[in-house]
Chain A
Amino acid sequence: QKEVEQDPGPLSVPEGAIVSLNCTYSNSAFQYFMWYRQYSRKGPELLMYTYSSGNKEDGRFTAQVDKSSKYISLFIRDSQPSDSATYLCAMSVGGATNKLIFGTGTLLAVQP
């Protein structure tokens, strides 16, 4: 079993829809959770960062962490064609370690 599981998609939605992207994990020691966005043939860029449980909002994006269920989500409101990309979740135990564990990524297509 992988430490981090992510549905690869592809996920296709119409413009303006609310998108929900999810990851589950098995290591209860994870404390730091990130979402990266990767456009085709580009490097991933950090989109959202969350520490421990709770929600974090940034514009149209909301990151949610439920440590009791070992489940994290990224919500995109009013999705735009420019949101079409692969979204990767990543997590770390923090502390003295710098090892980041990535999900395989979900390919999102927002149709105009």
Chain B
Amino acid sequence: DGGITQSPKYLFRKEGQNVTLSCEQNLNHDAMYWYRQDPGQGLRLIYYSQIVNDFQKGDIAEGYSVSREKKESFPLTVTSAQKNPTAFYLCASSPKTVVYGYTFGSGTRLTVV
């Protein structure tokens, strides 16, 4: 079955540590996205990539970094510079032209302890 896999489902991080969230898709989609979701704030775009080895900042990129070395993979690193990292993180993918929307992963819940 084609889809997007995010791992882990739950992640705990100590303050001052970097942590990497995994996102893999087998839909052969060109574009991939990372969103952060907080209660009452909807989806906020962190980074997106439309092609391998290229990515752009979204609305809230500070404190985050990404890479896109393979079409299937778009990992997100939450760095110690991110002041309020506790949130639900969603990865999504789409073809080059969005006609039928994005396909989302099941999300990673990150908690800073």
A46 to B92, CA, bound (A): 12
Main secondary structure of the interface of A (DSSP, over half): loop
A97 to B103, CA, bound (A): 16
The stretch that binds A, out of B66-74, B78-86, B94-102, is B94-102
Count of A-B contacts judged by CB separation below 8 Å: 64
What A residues does B95 contact at CB under 8 A?
98
Contact residue among B6, B97, B104, B106 (Cβ-Cβ distance under 8 Å from A98): B97
Beta-carbon contact of A92 and B98 below 8 Å: yes
- Count of chain B residues with Cβ under 8 Å from any Cβ of A? 26
Beta-carbon contact of A98 and B50 below 8 Å: yes
Shortest CB distance B75–A (Å): 17
A44 to B107, CA, bound (A): 9
Shortest CB distance B42–A (Å): 3
What B residues does A94 contact at CB under 8 A?
97-99
Shortest CB distance A49–B (Å): 6
What A residues does B100 contact at CB under 8 A?
34, 46, 49
